Structure 1
Amino acid sequence: MSDQIPLFEIAWDEQEILNAVESIGRGGYWAKGPFVDKFESRLEEYLDVEHAIVVNSGTSGLVTALEASDIGPGDEVIVPSMTFIATANAVRLVGAEPVFADIDRDTYGLSPDSVRENITEDTAAIIPVHLYGAPCRIDQIQDIAAQHDLTVVEDAAEAFGSTYEGKSVGTFGDAGILSFCQNKIVVTGEGGAIITDDDEIASNARLYRSHGRAPGDYFESVGSGEYVALGTNLRMSDLTAAIGCAQMDKVDELIGSRQAAAKYMNEQLAEIDGVQVPRPIDGGTHVYQLYTVEFDSGIDRQIVIDTLDEHGVSSKIYWDTPVHETHYYTETMDGPSPNTPTTQDVADTILSLPIYPDLTPRKTDQIVAAVKDGVRQAR
């Protein structure tokens, strides 16, 4: 049997090592150093935003963005149930309550109609998620938010570099968040960022990520600084940011390689009856953080998964349990179960296949052959 093809591999070269050595060899400023400032500037330039505030994870970014937007106890926040659990957990962590809405069939992001149906007098914010690397219907979500005076915090953890109508996702709302976890587009191991054009949100975020301490470098100053707000330690280390800077040097190449591999698989797999390949909506670009196909109901997905494994091809269901059906939320949510028929249908029929920048033609052929065999056996 051929070597197992993993779901992802990290693309790196000697620059990550050189930057890490430089950061370590400086002998100081490991917690807050020049690579942090440089990484934030690179993100601001690439995404054309006023502020990028890096933190230690995408989840921390969500919590910080909500805190910085004054979302808290008594507030409801509309989230999709088809997402990583961190989207909903961040709402709970600031004391607010997530309200689960259904998804749009074409984008797997929030359904604008379902958002409208779930707005109440307690609704304070919406968290649209750009799932798998493609934009949701963010223009419609923005229109709804404007009509009801709601805050929008975009979860763009999986979609760094994706655009809608030429504008980067994550930059449409009041704030957006990014993730640099090991399987994302730009990778630092762990890490995240809040991006915004709002000066007040940016100021609040910088306070919250560093114990509520007013601007000034704690490690350089002879004083302790002025603590003006409640906060915690969610800072990104200089070593982590050093790796992020190296990744930003080749970000267009990282995205282009993913898109090339996905284009090839799209062409091959689209020929298989009963398999829907991932494509962005009109006006959008897909960066394929995950390569997720959808099967017709007549295809037994588990047989496909087992066949892929026999062919040495990894696969995973993102997300096999909608968030509102996880143990924690079924035990802690009040009221009736959310009305999410599209989420339920999609969760039963999707499957993510390997995708990463260094995916070779030989391996893409192996993936395609395995899917074809799996679908043949699964009918």
Structure 2
Amino acid sequence: MTWNIPLFKMYWDQNDLNAITTTLSSGMNWAVGSEVTHFEHDLSENIGTKYCLTFNSGTSALHASLLAYEVGKSDEVIVPSFTFIATANAPLFVGAKPVFADIEEKTLGLSPESVLEHITPKTKAIIPVHYGGCPCMIHELREIADDHNLILIEDAAESFGAKIKGVKVGTFGDSAMLSFCQNKIITTGEGGAIVTDSRKLYEKMKLIRSHGRLETSDYFSSQEPMDYITLGYNFRLSNIAASLGLTQLQKVDTMIQMRKKIAEKYVTLLKKYAPKASPMLSPYGYDHVYQLFSVRLLDRNRLMEFLTSKGIMSKIYFPPVHLTHYYKKKLGYEISLPITETVAENIVSLPIYPGMSDEDLRTVVEAVGEFYQENQ
């Protein structure tokens, strides 16, 4: 379907085109090259960590991090069910068991109380998600991880640039995953990264990312024989993608400010429809970057149908993972997560992207109003 107003659009400019053209025109180093190293340096500097390693997706980054932490068979990893399925699948990739804890309603991130209830002697790690651009209750989760000697990996796929009292998401955990998929804050089309202060983790992930190869120089331009010292994968981000990531990163602050202004306008315009439409607002001191603009609605499914009839896209982020066919029928998960299930029944994401016009925003809000007027 062609949408009059899509859920998201990529924000790009001539600098993005020039960067990719320069890399392509070189006729060399499309897979591995200096732009990858440059992008990793700038990412770690932006987030405030010592190290960064890029991957071909956020999913690969999570997979590699669990391998590097030696999470495996007989281990349990606490995750939310209110997330994209990759968060829950990553433990399965390494033979561990994902254990679902419930969320809390302030940030829609993992509930510290629920996490505590799910810790067992087998628990090795916690992977909280910063939902939709809003930091979760990461201070409390950091304390729990420290108290129980657990690894804390932030899933910051949706929240690049988000902060709590000026401290950026991605610096609270032992490591953090970033995603650069096309609908994220910055994008390389597909891509991801792990940021960390651990040199040991960084070096282990370098091997995992590239076939277990001990690289002392650029593999593709060196005649030097290189040894393979462990099992690894082909998880590399291309130099082409990294060149785009660099120019996206240069304007990330501008793009975040654009998102915030659009979100502020949404909140103001939707006030007249409260409590039927309740935008997700972050707690005081939590700096939301609005990768998603999520609203909890009365009569959500019928409203989505109405918006679709107007050519306005909306989407449910997220249907609970524990209720998917694979987890419920194939893996046999029979659990109850009351807050997760309640939130997932009435939440919807409305269109938001840098450059969204005031006219399109008003069109979305007016369509919401029209629906409620017709269904009083």
- Check whether TM > 0.5: yes
Q: Secondary structure at the match of 2:219?
A: coil
C-alpha deviations, 1:155-190, integer Å up to 9, x for none?
000000101121111221111000000000001100
Shift of 1:312: 2.6
Q: Distance between the aligned counterparts of 1:214 and 1:40, measured in 2?
A: 19
Q: Secondary structure at the match of 1:77?
A: strand
Query: 1:110–1:136: 8 Å Cα contact kept in structure 2?
Result: yes
Q: Distance between the aligned counterparts of 2:263 and 2:169, measured in 1?
A: 20
Residue in structure 2 matched with residue 156 of structure 1 by the alignment: 156
Q: Which range moved further: 173-182 or 265-274? A: 265-274
Structure 1 unaligned regions, length at least 5: none
Residue in structure 1 matched with residue 182 of structure 2 by the alignment: 182
Shift of 1:220: 2.5
TM-score (norm 1): 0.96
Shift of 1:375: 2.8
Residue in structure 2 matched with residue 331 of structure 1 by the alignment: 329
Out of 357, 361, 366, which is 1:360 matched to? 357
Paired positions, count: 373
Could you say if the C-alpha distance between residues 41 and 302 of structure 1 is closer, same or farther in structure 2, counting changes exceeding 3 Å?
same
List, as ranges, runs of 4+ consecutive aligned residues in structure 1 with deviation greater than 4 Å.
none
Query: 1:135–1:281: 8 Å Cα contact kept in structure 2?
Result: no
Query: 1:77–1:124: 8 Å Cα contact kept in structure 2?
Result: yes
Residue in structure 2 matched with residue 239 of structure 1 by the alignment: 240
Q: Secondary structure at the match of 1:106?
A: coil
Residue in structure 1 matched with residue 288 of structure 2 by the alignment: 286
Query: 1:104–1:342: 8 Å Cα contact kept in structure 2?
Result: yes
Q: Distance between the aligned counterparts of 1:374 and 1:243, measured in 2?
A: 40
* 1:17-28 alignment runs, 5 A limit: 17-28=17-28
2:107 is aligned with 1:110: no
Residue in structure 2 matched with residue 129 of structure 1 by the alignment: 129
Q: Distance between the aligned counterparts of 1:46 and 1:12, measured in 2?
A: 20
* 1:1-379 alignment runs, 5 A limit: 4-216=4-216, 217-274=218-275, 275-295=277-297, 299-319=298-318, 321-334=319-332, 337-379=334-376
Query: 2:162–2:288: 8 Å Cα contact kept in structure 1?
Result: yes
Q: Distance between the aligned counterparts of 2:53 and 2:372, measured in 1?
A: 45
Query: 1:7–1:354: 8 Å Cα contact kept in structure 2?
Result: yes
Q: Distance between the aligned counterparts of 2:214 and 2:54, measured in 1?
A: 17
Q: Distance between the aligned counterparts of 1:376 and 1:234, measured in 2?
A: 51
Shift of 1:264: 0.4
Percent identity over the alignment? Answer: 45
Q: Distance between the aligned counterparts of 1:269 and 1:349, measured in 2?
A: 16
C-alpha deviations, 1:41-84, integer Å up to 9, x for none?
11011111111100000101110111111111111000001000
C-alpha deviations, 1:277-319, integer Å up to 9, x for none?
1221222111110111002xxx211221122123331111111
Matched letter for residue 323 of structure 2: E
Could you say if the C-alpha distance between residues 3 and 341 of structure 1 is closer, same or farther in structure 2, counting changes exceeding 3 Å?
closer
Q: Distance between the aligned counterparts of 1:226 and 1:278, measured in 2?
A: 51
Could you say if the C-alpha distance between residues 3 and 186 of structure 1 is closer, same or farther in structure 2, counting changes exceeding 3 Å?
closer
Q: Distance between the aligned counterparts of 1:312 and 1:333, measured in 2?
A: 38
Q: Secondary structure at the match of 1:270?
A: helix
C-alpha deviations, 1:137-157, integer Å up to 9, x for none?
000000111110000111000
Q: Distance between the aligned counterparts of 1:101 and 1:136, measured in 2?
A: 14
Q: Secondary structure at the match of 2:220?
A: coil
Structure 2 unaligned regions, length at least 5: none
Q: Secondary structure at the match of 2:194?
A: strand
Q: Distance between the aligned counterparts of 1:94 and 1:370, measured in 2?
A: 46
Cα-Cα RMSD: 1.4
